[in-house]
Amino acid sequence: MPAPIYSRFVPPKPAIKKHVPSSPQPIPSPPSAQSKKEKKSKSKNRQAHERAGGINELEATLDAAQPAEDTVAESPKAIKKPKKRKREAVADDADAEAEATPKKHKSILSKFEKVSQKAQEHAQRRHDTGVESDDAPAEDQRVLHDLEPLPQPAVVPDPAFEPTFSVLPTWLAQPVIVEASKRVSFAELGVQPFFLKKLEKQGYTDALAVQSALLPMLHPGHQRHIGDICVSARTGSGKTLAYLLPIVEALKDRATPVLSAIVVVPTRKLVDQVLQVAEQLCAGTKIKVATAVGSVPFTTEQKQLVKLRSQYDPNRAQDLHRNASQQLKSGLLEHGIIDDLMTMPIDHVPRYHSAVDILICTPGRLVEHIEATVGFLLRSVKWLVIDEADELLNQDFQGWTTVLMDALHGETPEDYMNVQERVREQRKGSEWERMLSAHRQFTKVVLSATMEKDLTKLGTLRLNRPKLVSVQEEAQEQQPITTDGDVFELPSTLEEFAVPVGEGQKKPLYLLYLLLNHAFKADEEGNDSSDSSESDPDSSSSSSSSSSSDDDATNPAGGKSIVKHASRVLVFTRSNESASRLSHLISVLEPSFKDYLKTMTPSSTAKAAKKLLKSFSSGSIKILIASDAASRGLDIPDISHVINYDIPSSVTSYVHRVGRTARANKAGEAWTLFTKSEAAWFWNQIARGEKVRRSDKKVTRIEWKEREVTWDRKRTYEAALAELQEAVVGPEATN
């Protein structure tokens, strides 16, 4: 393709000035006449001309091209030979013709010669002075007109990089800060007397900080927040009651169920936990609470959520039948309402009624119902609660946020409206009224131990006028939320300890030592300590360093001891397999623990898990070994110790694990066993890292000499390991 017109006549550029002599070079006189073919050939080479810097170079290029073509003749492309000969002949003719150059060509060429010379001079001048402005003499300007490169706009400088994504919106950057120690009586917060009595029965007189902040925002009244609410409050701070209480209060006098609130949590266990709190609050009212987690067949769950009734409505029935027959003809039969229509008596239409007021569910199951349960509509939902939002937003279960938001913000199809709704719609009158009333009001409450600051993720929730409430320890400076990453806050009632375990081969024995000497320690007289805070790690550490030959000294708890002991210990392992193995090992090493120790795995059925948690809460099980799956949001009252047998995989995991104790301002201890290779990470990230905020406390390092931990158990330990291996790989493989 030929170069653009302006560049085809561009004068030699300063960059290749070395080819251009300082004084203008005489331009060799061109051939007086050119054959058409020669002209064509030259035009093809014009681009080379530009690069070469002028007509001299072009001539040189053409000359140089001749021998090259001879060389090509010997190459396999010999097929071009006749063409070459033809061209040579043409060149000879051109020489002859050159002598008879017509006059008009001469004038053009002389003009070209003049112009080239001027252009060279001009370029030279520009280069020498460095002045880009077109201050050439007027004559030059005139002559160079059309032959100069077109003036180009100055290069637009790149704007300075301002990362807009790191600039948080005001509501995130300036949260409403609430001091963690804040207490307000429920009565003062305007909680209805009916619920005050209930709360009192449970031993709750004052609202915890998050509750005292959230209740007024969700209660009717002047402090009510019209818009959505995000809550960032540490684990165990009472978030569940904070959102459930105002919802239940609002629905208290409800006589027939209407789906009004949806609570989404990440796991089945959490669904059960929230259900428990909701049931306590709803006792004595007609509010219906249901769950959707997939623990029962889908059709059973559908029937629990939506009630199908027939309603006499001949006109509507006719319309629906007409639709159905049209769909049948077109072959595009919509299932759902048409299927139900077929089961209706004559002139009756199906009507769908919610069977629940509050639905507590996991996101996956919720999506299934939105997509497949006929009559499961969210048109009357007034509250959408997303608990453990950081985890939920990090996992995209079937694109749940999009499906949920579409269903929530969408309009109700007319087919699904009941008579009252239809009548109400008709009564609305003008278009404007209809449009205004279509704008439904509902509140989204998004809660997390650490608020998600990824705006893309938060954006999927389509928040409307959000407000962020952040509960923080008063000892800390009020720090605005930044985008530097998540900062976690630990309860001030939590004591943290860390124990080095060498290379980790004897870790089970360290755990046993910790259980016997700290968690289930008996006092001097051999009485059981029912108050876990009495176990002073430093004193026990020093007492443990005095080796004793008495077996009771290393086993102060004894079989009977653990039965009566008030401590509840949650041990975390890296995986479910290691939880099972550890449980087996501890039972063999300390048979007195066997009946009080259980493993929680995700494979346990919902019923079994519920039973297990109940036993743990009641104290008939004292030690629960679990993987991380159990750590999130589990609210088991009075866990006295959390032990990180395996180091957590992240700061978040640590915070959620240790958050199972020291809940609701109760005392609690978190112990972490770390190997040599894990030490640096633990101290840098967890104990001294910037991501974890502690009031005025530090992680205490407790060291036990290995021989004290293992001395009389070495043989039992080896036997237990052999037994475990046999149990895992079978007796034959062991031999």
Ligand X SMILES: Nc1ncnc2c1ncn2[C@@H]1O[C@H](COP(=O)(O)OP(=O)(O)OP(=O)(O)O)[C@@H](O)[C@H]1O
CB of 478 to ligand X, least distance (A): 20
Please give the Cα distance from 252 to 246 (Å, whole number): 10
Please give the Cα distance from 360 to 263 (Å, whole number): 5
String of contacts with ligand X for each residue 394-433, x by CB under 6 A: ----------------------------------------
Applying CB under 6 A, the site for ligand X has a residue count of 19
Neighbours of 144 (CB within 10 A): 17
Nearer to ligand X, 468 or 720 (CB): 468
CB of 603 to ligand X, least distance (A): 23
Nearer to ligand X, 241 or 366 (CB): 241
CB of 670 to ligand X, least distance (A): 14
Residue 240 touches ligand X, criterion: CB under 6 A: yes
Residue 544 touches ligand X, criterion: CB under 6 A: no
CB of 226 to ligand X, least distance (A): 25
Give the interface segment with ligand X, choosing from 118-126, 187-195, 235-243, 437-445 (CB under 6 A): 235-243
Q: Cα dihedral angle (272, 278, 282, 288), rounded to 10 degrees?
A: -60
CB of 237 to ligand X, least distance (A): 4
CB of 632 to ligand X, least distance (A): 7
Render the burial of 531-570: b for 16+ CB within 10 Å, e for the rest: ebeebebeebbeebeeeeeeeebbbbbbeebbbebebbbb
Give the interface segment with ligand X, choosing from 204-212, 489-497, 506-514, 596-604 (CB under 6 A): 204-212
Neighbours of 195 (CB within 10 A): 18
Helix (H, G, I), strand (E, B), or coil: what is residue 266?
A: coil
**Residue 456 structure tokens:** 């893309």
Cα Rg for the chain, rounded, in angstroms? 42
∠ CA 463-248-452, rounded to 5°:
30
String of contacts with ligand X for each residue 662-691, x by CB under 6 A: -xx---------------------------
Nearer to ligand X, 260 or 448 (CB): 448
**Residue 238 structure tokens:** 């009472």
CB of 688 to ligand X, least distance (A): 24
Residue from 238, 363, 375, 500 touching ligand X (CB under 6 A): that is: 238
Give the interface segment with ligand X, choosing from 162-170, 205-213, 510-518, 618-626 (CB under 6 A): 205-213
Nearer to ligand X, 584 or 663 (CB): 663
Residue 33 touches ligand X, criterion: CB under 6 A: no
DSSP 8-class letter at 679: H
Q: Quick one: which of 512, 612, 498 has its CA closest to 562?
A: 512
Residue 236 touches ligand X, criterion: CB under 6 A: yes
Nearer to ligand X, 292 or 449 (CB): 449
Residue 208 touches ligand X, criterion: CB under 6 A: yes
Residue 514 touches ligand X, criterion: CB under 6 A: no
Nearer to ligand X, 349 or 481 (CB): 481
Nearer to ligand X, 522 or 642 (CB): 642
Residue from 11, 491, 633, 648 touching ligand X (CB under 6 A): that is: 633
String of contacts with ligand X for each residue 585-624, x by CB under 6 A: ----------------------------------------
Residue 237 touches ligand X, criterion: CB under 6 A: yes
Distance of CA 134 to the CA centre of its chain: 58
Neighbours of 429 (CB within 10 A): 8
Residue from 235, 573, 576, 599 touching ligand X (CB under 6 A): that is: 235
DSSP 8-class letter at 674: E
Please give the Cα distance from 491 to 375 (Å, whole number): 44
Residue 635 touches ligand X, criterion: CB under 6 A: yes
Residue 494 touches ligand X, criterion: CB under 6 A: no
Residues whose CB falls within 8 Å of the CB of residue 346, separated by 6 or more in sequence, listed in order = 317
Q: Quick one: which of 583, 447, 460 has its CA closest to 515?
A: 583
Residue 637 touches ligand X, criterion: CB under 6 A: yes
Q: Which residue in the block uniquely carries the two structure tokens 């209740």?
A: 215
Residue 272 touches ligand X, criterion: CB under 6 A: no
> Cβ distance 442 to 409 under 8 Å?
no
DSSP 8-class letter at 292: E
Q: Cα dihedral angle (699, 705, 706, 710), rounded to 10 degrees?
A: -100
**Residue 159 structure tokens:** 């704007």
CB of 581 to ligand X, least distance (A): 27
Decide: residue 86, CB within 10 A, 0-12 exposed, 13-18 middle, 19+ buried: exposed
Residue 207 touches ligand X, criterion: CB under 6 A: yes
CB of 215 to ligand X, least distance (A): 10
Q: Which helix (H) or strand (E) holds 500?
A: strand 494-500
Give the interface segment with ligand X, choosing from 11-19, 202-210, 460-468, 689-697 (CB under 6 A): 202-210
Q: What are phi and psi of 444, to 5 degrees?
A: -105, 130
Nearer to ligand X, 248 or 588 (CB): 248
Residue from 49, 118, 239, 657 touching ligand X (CB under 6 A): that is: 239
CB of 196 to ligand X, least distance (A): 12
Please give the Cα distance from 134 to 129 (Å, whole number): 12
Give the interface segment with ligand X, choosing from 21-29, 50-58, 230-238, 431-439 (CB under 6 A): 230-238
Residue from 368, 659, 662, 672 touching ligand X (CB under 6 A): that is: 659
DSSP 8-class letter at 153: P
Q: Cα dihedral angle (197, 198, 202, 204), rounded to 10 degrees?
A: -60
**Residue 649 structure tokens:** 């995989």
Q: Which residue in the block uniquely carries the two structure tokens 């089970």?
A: 508
Give the interface segment with ligand X, choosing from 36-44, 127-135, 495-503, 631-639 (CB under 6 A): 631-639
Nearer to ligand X, 352 or 383 (CB): 383
Q: Which helix (H) or strand (E) holds 305?
A: helix 298-305
Residue 583 touches ligand X, criterion: CB under 6 A: no
String of contacts with ligand X for each residue 445-484, x by CB under 6 A: ----x-----------------------------------
CB of 627 to ligand X, least distance (A): 17
Residue 204 touches ligand X, criterion: CB under 6 A: yes
Helix (H, G, I), strand (E, B), or coil: what is residue 165?
A: helix
Q: Which helix (H) or strand (E) holds 468?
A: strand 467-472
> Cβ distance 601 to 582 under 8 Å?
no
Residue 648 touches ligand X, criterion: CB under 6 A: no
Residue 231 touches ligand X, criterion: CB under 6 A: no
Task: Using CB under 6 A, list all residues that contact ligand X.
Answer: 204, 207-208, 211, 233, 235-241, 449, 633, 635, 637, 659, 663-664
